[in-house]
Structure 1
């Protein structure tokens, strides 16, 4: 350190210890007032990079399909699943859940339409009359259980194959305000990255980003309260069944609580360990208090900075307090040890000169150590993972802050605290370092051999390293997240959804980022469609039905008479989607079966599931007419459950 810098440091800091300590205390108090603004985040924005195309596409699809977040409850009674001892309390619990603010609907075995108990016809499905359900008087519950455990729709989703567990789906109200703010913010970001923003638009973007972050925090808090309310209701019914709560909102809420818990537990544990180690090593109150004050001030200022900047912590950065305490403590110990060495050499020397010499001698190694550590954490910024990037910047800022506060607080407290007597080693035992010195001096060859063996063993171990990213393993087996996910994954088809979007191939409009392998869109009607002659045109000219002759009337007058009229309404022309043609169905079936065959997948749902139900009702001879009827003539409530979640007219 140059003499000019030393002189300035001495004049500004060491000559005014009480003033410096007062200013640091005011700084700590000011940032402590911001601690209430600290927010913990488990939203998608905290986990993904800004402008991530996958996240943007997911949000686009969610908005297009009006996807709702939902919670899942598993219900496993000790007796028969469809017995009164199980169904009646299940209904009462569902009624209570429907009363919660933020819940749009609750789906249980009581609420789903039954298609095979007994078997219904396609005209029954397309008629405005409600389909039978479990509360229909006189319904055969054995047939219902068989349908629920074998149906392409309900098996492994609503009821487990063994008929012992059922799921309760709690659909959450769609937050339109969230999507409005998201669209406003992303629209301005796209314009900024493209043509640029005016000064007024830049201010509008800053306002939109702040409003979105504030609303996201409110939304996460509301979801956390809703999850807690659901758990409280579930607790009241655990005497009737074994219940676990699952779903993505529950996982997000619990992750936030885990972050808060980690901050308290790890921070408190590190402080306790620091107190114990400092007391054992130095055995002086002075050398215990000074490092603790310095470390605590660093953490309070850093946390207050996060709150003031609305810099949110995630599950990755939740342990940064513990890491920061350790890094700050290391510098404090370096300064204290060097001071004690100088004090032992010159016990009668001037206190001010001793402190100044300590800071001068330790400035370079402490700064070098801090810089190398900062470089290590800065390297996280290029990871491409948002929470890891945030953690890197937090630690970089915290280490720099800890270095500055160490060179302010530690020397000033040394100056204002009575020096006391110097430390002298009076024991007769050989220090531990002497033991290690003798081992190295007398067994050098053996140490080198052991080191070489460890290097070889390390190389073998590194070659066998595997990357594991099982989400369930992030949680302890005793947590409800782990237990619920394990049950849902093994019995009810899984917890974490994966959406696959299919579009008919079109050379003129390829999917973003993809190069089509095949040519143009396939014809809507396959050549081997058994009903090709009847499905070429769903809006025939007047008299076309008469020209078809009696064969048409004989074959379809019972099942589809009213439905065919739907296609022949005056002035109406209906063109069925490609996916509701025979060839589209076959393509969907192939994709569906391929995904379902993968060992990592649970329950797979798509339009192929709907087609499987139609085949169960009509047999395997299903053509484009029946598929078009499914698209056009289903009642709204049935279509909302069977078709709308998997089909978008705009994206076909």
Structure 2
């Protein structure tokens, strides 16, 4: 349908610059002149996006929680290859109602184990049923193989089996609790060697691409490797999710016989993503329901409810389709980008609708084209400025060193730009095709809330400034108290299965999160150390180097380190070569002499070496591994402080060199991410605000306006972060984004208000009157937007995933603070500074 018949000969709206005129005329000749064609093109884009919507996926694998180029992740991968171990296993805790070491309980445990082993994909398990008991009065270190028995394969008296398991330092507090009431079944998940080969090749090619570039053949190879790696990764993730579901189905059949919980890093990751996926669907629909309700209450006309929902739905659909086409996974950090796109797209549509209804009110005889053209011409520029500054706010995330945070910033940038295009293509095109809306009622002229805030701004000048200053001081204190220390267990409510399972595993079975300490033997190149040269100083007594961990000194070293690690209140089960040595000493019924230590590696049968030695010592590289499980439920858990204490003790008290000590594991990778989040996001907020202030300078061409505009934004961001600090809520992988969200939201309100205030001041030069008119026009749109989002996001407080609750609460709080700042502090500063020239209203009063 063409709108030529509706178009007046001359525009009733004066447009700004020549460039603005050209852009509007181009828009006029395309979108407004051909609304049906415009909507058809948008529909085609939506269909194309939908073709790959099934490729949209969530990813929570370990490499999504590490810093960009983090050497710790590469070391983490190499460590598990050298020691032939993995974190990819599940732990089933089993606590029968009666005695654990009874025929009935062990028979049920055996049946449970066999049913779990029947799950496709689980090929290996460890439990008290199949591990060697290593208990016999006739056993010696050299006759271990002869006397080795298991509950599965041998007729062992239960008292003897209980004693063997409870006294074994390897099994105690890992496979059986110290009180003998709880046991565990460890289920090893399948590994795919081809997956690791593809990942290593991908990393090598990408490293070369960054350093020196790739040849045409290598670029083709990288493209193929990326495709194969992505396919393998998706297949492995799907397989792991299926295994966890099947395991849970098996466990459900035994819940009436014992207290059973499932644990392990893969389960934590799977449950975390399950909560996020559930929230995306359940609460996404809930948020939409609240938004529909609020739009209905505010506008009371179906079109003003359906059009915003159409724009929001198209924006999300097109963005998800883009992510599907580009195989761009969404992580836990970026999982809330859909909600944020709803906020920003809804804000754009509401601003256009309010302005459209305003023109409809003041121009009752205008036709459809006039109303739509006036709306687009008036709101195109401030909405574009809003989008650009919001992109700057979220774009700051790309300077993070963490891949998921970078992806979150880029996703928001793409989504915001898509949202802007959708709103200014779909909304005007649909309005060109619909009949003219019913005339707004008289309520359009007066909004009690904004009118009240205008009076507050007028009558409480000093109070607003004093309160803002006091709030800034309190916020500064709160921000200084912010921390990134948090516990996985705090992500889940206490009545959830995962929370309860983590508590049981922590308290009974040695802890949850894996941490590894790797000790290397000192390399002896024959040169004396700088601080101790016997040829220069005759009294120098250089420390003897340890050539092997299977020596007397080497054994004492690993025992000393093991005992120190075991003494830390945040650590649970610690397993190392010291565990094996002490087990050998118990079997040998006495300390091992140097010969026995040297031969210990050959004394154990081959299958025991894979259990007792290979995961904890690598003689080729001269490294020893200390496997630790952290107590996630410990109130004293502070990962960063613990890691620093371990490193300081090993280098300071024990005397190892810095390069001889390495910490790795999921606990280290997660801590690195949290520490980087704090430094790269919180500490760089100043740079972000400088960039936004520069944008204000470009937009408003006034340093005074830029300074005035930045103050409410600083206060809004500082207030949210300060409240988090004062309440002791740590920053984590989701709440860290609240800062960027707050900046983006506050910037939107600031730009819209200043842009409208400048329009109003040009009418009569009366600052006070301009403020009241701005409150009743753009202030109304800001209020509607904020109320809709605050009410909609309040439903997130019902989630079982604590970070989602915090996200919803603090997003709503950010909206409220940004709104109050933009409707009180901002106009108060404008009335004080008078950046748009002298106050003609005051001059008239004085005259």
TM bucket normalised to smaller: 0.7 to 0.9
Matched, 1:111 2:81: no
Matched, 1:52 2:70: yes
Using a 3 Å threshold, how does the CA distance of structure 1 residues 436 and 91 change in structure 2: closer, same or farther?
same
Whole-angstrom distance in 1 between the partners of 2:422 and 2:331? 26
Q: Does the CA-based 8 Å contact 1:347-1:421 persist in structure 2?
A: no
Q: Specify the alignment match of 2:102 in structure 1.
A: 83
Matched, 1:492 2:462: no
Q: Specify the alignment match of 1:564 in structure 2.
A: none
Per mean C-alpha deviation after superposition, the further-off stretch among 391-400 and 263-272 is 263-272
Can you list the C-alpha shifts for 1:184-203, whole angstroms capped at 9, x where unaligned? 32332344344432101111
What SS does the corresponding residue of 1:348 show, helix, strand or coil?
Answer: coil
Out of 546, 553, 574, the position equivalent to 1:604 is: 574
Q: Specify the alignment match of 1:570 in structure 2.
A: none
Using a 3 Å threshold, how does the CA distance of structure 1 residues 290 and 124 change in structure 2: closer, same or farther?
same
Tell me the TM-score normalised to structure 1 length. 0.86
Give the C-alpha shift of residue 178 in structure 1: 1.3
Can you list the C-alpha shifts for 1:442-476, whole angstroms capped at 9, x where unaligned? 44444445444433433333333333231222223
Whole-angstrom distance in 2 between the partners of 1:343 and 1:44? 55
Matched, 1:626 2:596: yes
Give the C-alpha shift of residue 119 in structure 1: 6.9
Matched, 1:636 2:612: no
Aligned length: 594
Tell me the TM-score normalised to structure 2 length. 0.67
Q: Specify the alignment match of 2:431 in structure 1.
A: 414
Using a 3 Å threshold, how does the CA distance of structure 1 residues 75 and 117 change in structure 2: closer, same or farther?
farther
Whole-angstrom distance in 2 between the partners of 1:517 and 1:314? 49
Q: Specify the alignment match of 2:26 in structure 1.
A: 8
Q: Specify the alignment match of 1:148 in structure 2.
A: 165
Whole-angstrom distance in 2 between the partners of 1:351 and 1:193? 55
Q: Specify the alignment match of 2:213 in structure 1.
A: 196
Using a 3 Å threshold, how does the CA distance of structure 1 residues 392 and 518 change in structure 2: closer, same or farther?
farther
What SS does the corresponding residue of 1:502 show, helix, strand or coil?
Answer: strand
Matched, 1:123 2:137: no
What SS does the corresponding residue of 2:113 show, helix, strand or coil?
Answer: helix
Can you list the C-alpha shifts for 1:384-431, whole angstroms capped at 9, x where unaligned? 122111111111110111011111111111111111332131599972
Out of 96, 104, 116, the position equivalent to 2:115 is: 96
Q: Specify the alignment match of 1:548 in structure 2.
A: none
Whole-angstrom distance in 2 between the partners of 1:392 and 1:326? 16
Matched, 1:327 2:344: yes
Q: Does the CA-based 8 Å contact 1:107-1:170 persist in structure 2?
A: yes
Q: Specify the alignment match of 1:531 in structure 2.
A: none
Q: Does the CA-based 8 Å contact 1:73-1:243 persist in structure 2?
A: yes
Using a 3 Å threshold, how does the CA distance of structure 1 residues 597 and 469 change in structure 2: closer, same or farther?
same
Matched, 1:389 2:406: yes
Q: Specify the alignment match of 1:582 in structure 2.
A: 552
Give the C-alpha shift of residue 240 in structure 1: 1.6
Give the C-alpha shift of residue 162 in structure 1: 1.2
Using a 3 Å threshold, how does the CA distance of structure 1 residues 313 and 517 change in structure 2: closer, same or farther?
farther
Larger Rg: 1
Per mean C-alpha deviation after superposition, the further-off stretch among 466-475 and 378-387 is 466-475
Q: Does the CA-based 8 Å contact 1:504-1:521 persist in structure 2?
A: no
Whole-angstrom distance in 2 between the partners of 1:221 and 1:492? 28
Give the C-alpha shift of residue 174 in structure 1: 2.7
Q: Does the CA-based 8 Å contact 1:589-1:608 persist in structure 2?
A: yes
What SS does the corresponding residue of 2:90 show, helix, strand or coil?
Answer: strand
Structure 1 gap ranges (5+): 525-576
Using a 3 Å threshold, how does the CA distance of structure 1 residues 492 and 518 change in structure 2: closer, same or farther?
farther
Using a 3 Å threshold, how does the CA distance of structure 1 residues 97 and 339 change in structure 2: closer, same or farther?
same
Q: Specify the alignment match of 1:39 in structure 2.
A: 57
Structure 1 segment 120-519 matched on structure 2, within 5 A: 120-125=139-144, 127=145, 129=146, 131-135=148-152, 139-425=156-442, 431-506=448-523
Give the C-alpha shift of residue 166 in structure 1: 0.5
Whole-angstrom distance in 1 between the partners of 2:172 and 2:384? 63
Using a 3 Å threshold, how does the CA distance of structure 1 residues 620 and 123 change in structure 2: closer, same or farther?
closer
Matched, 1:27 2:45: yes
Whole-angstrom distance in 1 between the partners of 2:444 and 2:304? 20
Per mean C-alpha deviation after superposition, the further-off stretch among 33-42 and 293-302 is 33-42
Per mean C-alpha deviation after superposition, the further-off stretch among 443-452 and 29-38 is 443-452
What SS does the corresponding residue of 2:91 show, helix, strand or coil?
Answer: strand
Whole-angstrom distance in 2 between the partners of 1:264 and 1:246? 25
Q: Specify the alignment match of 2:685 in structure 1.
A: none
Using a 3 Å threshold, how does the CA distance of structure 1 residues 603 and 332 change in structure 2: closer, same or farther?
same
Per mean C-alpha deviation after superposition, the further-off stretch among 440-449 and 395-404 is 440-449
Give the C-alpha shift of residue 366 in structure 1: 0.5
Whole-angstrom distance in 1 between the partners of 2:525 and 2:269? 41
Give the root-mean-square deviation of aligned CA atoms.
Answer: 2.5
Can you list the C-alpha shifts for 1:616-643, whole angstroms capped at 9, x where unaligned? 2335532221112211221111111111
Using a 3 Å threshold, how does the CA distance of structure 1 residues 174 and 185 change in structure 2: closer, same or farther?
same
Using a 3 Å threshold, how does the CA distance of structure 1 residues 635 and 34 change in structure 2: closer, same or farther?
same
Whole-angstrom distance in 1 between the partners of 2:211 and 2:493? 45
Out of 62, 79, 87, the position equivalent to 1:61 is: 79
Q: Does the CA-based 8 Å contact 1:49-1:385 persist in structure 2?
A: yes
Give the C-alpha shift of residue 148 in structure 1: 2.6
Give the C-alpha shift of residue 217 in structure 1: 0.6
Q: Specify the alignment match of 2:619 in structure 1.
A: 649
Can you list the C-alpha shifts for 1:205-228, whole angstroms capped at 9, x where unaligned? 111011111100100000110111
Can you list the C-alpha shifts for 1:554-594, whole angstroms capped at 9, x where unaligned? xxxxxxxxxxxxxxxxxxxxxxx701111111111121112
Q: Does the CA-based 8 Å contact 1:118-1:143 persist in structure 2?
A: no
Whole-angstrom distance in 1 between the partners of 2:411 and 2:271? 23
Whole-angstrom distance in 1 between the partners of 2:383 and 2:162? 71
Give the C-alpha shift of residue 37 in structure 1: 1.1
Give the C-alpha shift of residue 521 in structure 1: 9.6
Q: Does the CA-based 8 Å contact 1:158-1:167 persist in structure 2?
A: yes
Using a 3 Å threshold, how does the CA distance of structure 1 residues 343 and 194 change in structure 2: closer, same or farther?
closer
Whole-angstrom distance in 2 between the partners of 1:509 and 1:406? 73
Q: Does the CA-based 8 Å contact 1:270-1:325 persist in structure 2?
A: no
Give the C-alpha shift of residue 250 in structure 1: 1.6
Q: Does the CA-based 8 Å contact 1:117-1:139 persist in structure 2?
A: no
Q: Specify the alignment match of 1:534 in structure 2.
A: none
